[in-house]
Chains A and B, each alone.
Chain A
Amino acid sequence: MIPQGLRYTKEHEWARREGDTVTVGITHWAQEQLSDVVYVELPAVGRAVKQAEGFGVIEAVKTVSDMYAPVAGEVVEVNTALADNPGLVNQSPYEQGWIIKLKVKDAQELDALLDATAYAALLEEAH
């Protein structure tokens, strides 16, 4: 479950470019590790984040995980559907379970991230 065409971070976030915004979420592997997501703490719209800066928290029953921005940018949209249905992250981590959208300054930062093959290799190695 590692879609081509996305970029990935070592912290198991994915990033998808859509024009000058980048949509961010967590990977299938990450949601599997967490198990049932009960709550997603989202940043405020308008907040600026640096690359690798924590932008939110994702909570399961017995675990909690920080989420890190794959690229620098400004938060332009957050997935408000997650408030009533945090399980979307488990059910559809790459589509309905998206978490934030960033307006990015430097699109090149995205290219420096892992591609699908590299991310798959990372998962193989560590586990």
Chain B
Amino acid sequence: MSADRSAAPGGQPPPASGRAGEPPVWGEGRIVEPLLSELSRPGHRGVTLPASDVPATPLAQAVPAWALRQRPARLPEVSEPEVVRHYTRLSALNHHVDRGFYPLGSCTMKYNPKINDEMAALRGFAESHPLAPDEAVQGTLALMHGISRHLCEITGFAACTLQPAAGAQGEMTGMLMARAWHASRGEAATRRTVIVPDSAHGTNPASVHLAGWSVREIKSNAEGMIDLAALDAALGPDTAAVMITLPSTLGIFETQIREIIRRIHAAGGLVYLDGANFNALAGLVRPHDIGFDLAHLNLHKTFSTPHGGGGPGSGPVLVSRELEPFLPYPVVVQRDGAYALDWQRPRSIGRVHSYHGNVGVLIRAYTYILSLGAEGVAEVSREAILNANYLLGRLKDAFEMPHEHPCMHEFVLSGKGLRKHGLRTLDVAKRLLDFGIHAPTVYFPLIVEEALMIEPTETETLRNLDEFVAIVRRILREAAEEPETLKNAPRTTPVSRLDEGRAARELKLTWEPPAEA
């Protein structure tokens, strides 16, 4: 990429369609949207601001000379209508849950209720400042207290921190608390290893490393579950914790989970639940009841908050009574009939968030819990499990199955059978895009060859599931009869397959700045 910031010549946008000189047609789909830097015209402006109504203070008087910016930042100069069109046209290039099926395994792309967004936008919530005195934010504090209680009830744990901004940050927070717990028992120097199955999501070992510990990976057995012999061999006096995803990343419930937990505790380790797959357990199994010591939840998965194209999420961490003193500060408490932030937490690990976590996301999840109630929470896992098994039942003859178990809320197929047509799982994924369906997760978990991980979630109707099955079967017919169709897919999306090798070799990570006036 270039560090030179030479002015772009002329700032002409590229031709709007793939064919030079031809105007775009309605429904053509394949439009190259100009960048803001290309739409920019010197002298154009967006928002107008009121004039200053106070006596002027010259900047130079108040700020040291070296700190005065000589040249304004070369941001775009675009009128408001052009900004609106730009983003509206860009938005049309995305697939999204409100448009169609999005069976991305392990991400729980369920419907995002709109009432949740509206409640988070209520003025009293949105305009509250994190450093306001407690008396000024009783509503938000009450909500945070309430959601902590509800998440504890749903999972069986005793206490909760709402600070982690995502699952990965929750994992790190959990590991830091585990570290503090072992330190409180004089075992900080000896217990420094976390056991992680080879089927785990990449954030698990990365989070362990961030917490300053080392990872010991254990191989899963032939069914993709934790191998007890491997676990026994790995457990030892250096075991700080074991991170488990339940159901596993293959979508199966560890039948031996209670024995697994018993052995880890016997070895002196803590058991951590990666709650990414909690959509299968809500209202059905409470992790603390079966022995987990701490867990994180992903509110942007199980609790319906929108994924936002890459966040914001929220990864609250729930802990047993024993780990409660180590929670990040402050914690919301009830005191003298009001809510307050409790800063007196002498054994706390510190803070993981600059303020109180992604409160706007917490409000959405809180609203969701209220709208579901106990019956609704149980319905989530029940219908998610039914949907996944139904799809598995209708697809498994067409693919290789890594195991024979019923699945929970998601399942993994292997696309290795496609090799005989010279194709891979990736080609099926790309062809699905042509039919308005987002591809499932591919090539994860790493322990399944040519993996395809499908999670329908509970908000898909039977009609949608049947339509998906029909499309998958058609694609598999194409694979056998006209493999080129898959190889060249997608053909009807805004762009065709992109050259990722070039993107990594010839790094172009910023635009040519807008032309100067």
Do A and B come into direct contact in the complex, CB within 8 Å?
yes
Interface string of B440-461 (1 = CB under 8 A from A): 0001000000000000000000
Q: Which residues of A contact B500 (CB under 8 A)?
A: 61-62
B505 proximal to A (CB < 8 A): yes
Q: Which residues of B contact A36 (CB under 8 A)?
A: 501, 505
B56 proximal to A (CB < 8 A): no
Interface string of A99-127 (1 = CB under 8 A from B): 00000000000000000000000000000
Interface string of B495-511 (1 = CB under 8 A from A): 00000110011000000
Tally A-B pairs: CB < 8 A: 15
A residues 49-75 near B (Cβ < 8 Å) are: 59, 61-62
B504 closest partner in A (C-beta): A38
A93 proximal to B (CB < 8 A): no
* Chain A interface SS verdict (over half): loop
Within the complex, what minimum Cβ distance (angstroms) separates A84 from chain B?
A: 9
Within the complex, what minimum Cβ distance (angstroms) separates A57 from chain B?
A: 13
A111 and B443 CA atoms in complex are apart in Å by 39
A36 and B503 CA atoms in complex are apart in Å by 12
Within the complex, what minimum Cβ distance (angstroms) separates A63 from chain B?
A: 10
Q: Which residues of B contact A61 (CB under 8 A)?
A: 500-501, 504
Interface size class of A (residues with CB under 8 A): under 10
A62 and B501 CA atoms in complex are apart in Å by 9
Q: Which residues of A contact B443 (CB under 8 A)?
A: 62
Within the complex, what minimum Cβ distance (angstroms) separates A58 from chain B?
A: 12
Within the complex, what minimum Cβ distance (angstroms) separates B147 from chain A?
A: 38
Within the complex, what minimum Cβ distance (angstroms) separates A86 from chain B?
A: 7
Q: Which residues of B contact A86 (CB under 8 A)?
A: 505
Instruction: Pick from B443, B500, B504 the residue with the most CB of A within 10 Å.
Output: B504
Within the complex, what minimum Cβ distance (angstroms) separates B70 from chain A?
A: 34
- Residues of chain B at interface, number, CB under 8 A: 5
Interface string of B462-506 (1 = CB under 8 A from A): 000000000000000000000000000000000000001100110
A39 and B500 CA atoms in complex are apart in Å by 13
A39 and B501 CA atoms in complex are apart in Å by 10
Q: Which residues of B contact A38 (CB under 8 A)?
A: 501, 504-505
Within the complex, what minimum Cβ distance (angstroms) separates A114 from chain B?
A: 25
Within the complex, what minimum Cβ distance (angstroms) separates B391 from chain A?
A: 27
A36 and B500 CA atoms in complex are apart in Å by 10
Within the complex, what minimum Cβ distance (angstroms) separates B508 from chain A?
A: 13
Q: Which residues of B contact A87 (CB under 8 A)?
A: 505
A43 and B492 CA atoms in complex are apart in Å by 45
Q: Which residues of B contact A62 (CB under 8 A)?
A: 443, 500
A116 and B443 CA atoms in complex are apart in Å by 33
Instruction: Pick from A61, A62, A86, A87 the residue with the most CB of B within 10 Å.
Output: A61
Interface string of A8-40 (1 = CB under 8 A from B): 000000000000000000000000000010110
Within the complex, what minimum Cβ distance (angstroms) separates B206 from chain A?
A: 14
Q: Which residues of B contact A59 (CB under 8 A)?
A: 504
Within the complex, what minimum Cβ distance (angstroms) separates B419 from chain A?
A: 14
Q: Which residues of B contact A39 (CB under 8 A)?
A: 504-505
A61 and B500 CA atoms in complex are apart in Å by 7
B443 closest partner in A (C-beta): A62
Within the complex, what minimum Cβ distance (angstroms) separates B398 from chain A?
A: 26
Within the complex, what minimum Cβ distance (angstroms) separates B250 from chain A?
A: 21
A36 closest partner in B (C-beta): B501
A59 and B503 CA atoms in complex are apart in Å by 13
B505 closest partner in A (C-beta): A38
A84 closest partner in B (C-beta): B505
B residues 61-93 near A (Cβ < 8 Å) are: none
Q: Which residues of A contact B504 (CB under 8 A)?
A: 38-39, 59, 61
A101 and B168 CA atoms in complex are apart in Å by 40
Chain B interface residues (CB < 8 Å from chain A): 443, 500-501, 504-505
* A–B Cβ pairs within 8 angstroms, 15 of them: A36-B501, A36-B505, A38-B501, A38-B504, A38-B505, A39-B504, A39-B505, A59-B504, A61-B500, A61-B501, A61-B504, A62-B443, A62-B500, A86-B505, A87-B505
Chain A interface residues (CB < 8 Å from chain B): 36, 38-39, 59, 61-62, 86-87
Beyond the given pairs A38-B501, A59-B504, 13 more chain A to chain B contacts, judged by CB atoms under 8 angstroms and listed by A's residue number, are: A36-B501, A36-B505, A38-B504, A38-B505, A39-B504, A39-B505, A61-B500, A61-B501, A61-B504, A62-B443, A62-B500, A86-B505, A87-B505
The 6 closest A-B pairs by CB, nearest first: A38-B504, A36-B501, A38-B505, A61-B500, A61-B501, A61-B504
